[in-house]
Amino acid sequence: MKVSPETQERLRFLSRVIEKEIKHLNYAAQQVFDPGLPFQSVEKLDSNPELAMKVEAFTSRFCRLQDTLGDKLLPALLIALGEPKQALLFNLEKAEKYGWLGSSEQWIAIRQLRNQMIHEYIENAQTLFDALTTAHSKISVLTQLASELEKQVGVLVHKH
């Protein structure tokens, strides 16, 4: 399939961005979860600004990587493959059919963690703790999709 130079450059750019986002997310995860994140620490987040900043970095980077993958690279790749421009859910289902994503439902569930990590934590430490630990356990879902999309980009784009 012939892909325009502009599309090739966009795919290369998004691939570079994702590589950096994964690196930064892994660093933030290490800062928050190594050696572990006890519930009591989350409960007392207001009195621990250093940990609060690390949690904020992790949350932000997790959400950013998910956005870049689902809202930018996936649609750009699908369009480059000749698929019509569609909403996220359709794109996720298409990624599942191509074998790039294990489950579109799981992706949507992970996406819902955003509200729990960003908004609801203000009211409920347990909600934040559960969302953080779930997000941490789902980093592999994001990195697996990134890897699958990278393979496809490599097929379409001649990397220089």
Task: Show the domains of the chain with their CATH numbers.
Answer: 5-156 (1.20.120)
Low-confidence stretches of the chain (pLDDT beneath 70): 1, 120-122, 158-160
CB atoms within 10 A of CB 58: 25
pLDDT at residue 119, as a whole number: 72
Question: CA–CA distance from 151 to each of 30, 35, 41, 77 (Å)?
Answer: 26, 33, 39, 11
Q: How high is the pLDDT of residue 160? A: 41
pLDDT on residue 1: 65
pTM for the model stands at 0.91
Alpha-helical segments (H) within the chain = 5-33, 39-43, 49-67, 74-80, 88-98, 104-118, 125-137, 139-156
As a whole-number percent, the residues of the chain with pLDDT over 90 amount to: 81
Q: In this structure, what token pair is assigned to residue 94?
A: 């298409």
- Terminal CA-CA length for the chain: 18
Distance CA 70, CA 60 (A): 15
| Secondary structure of residue 1 in the 3-state scheme | coil
pLDDT given at position 2:
81
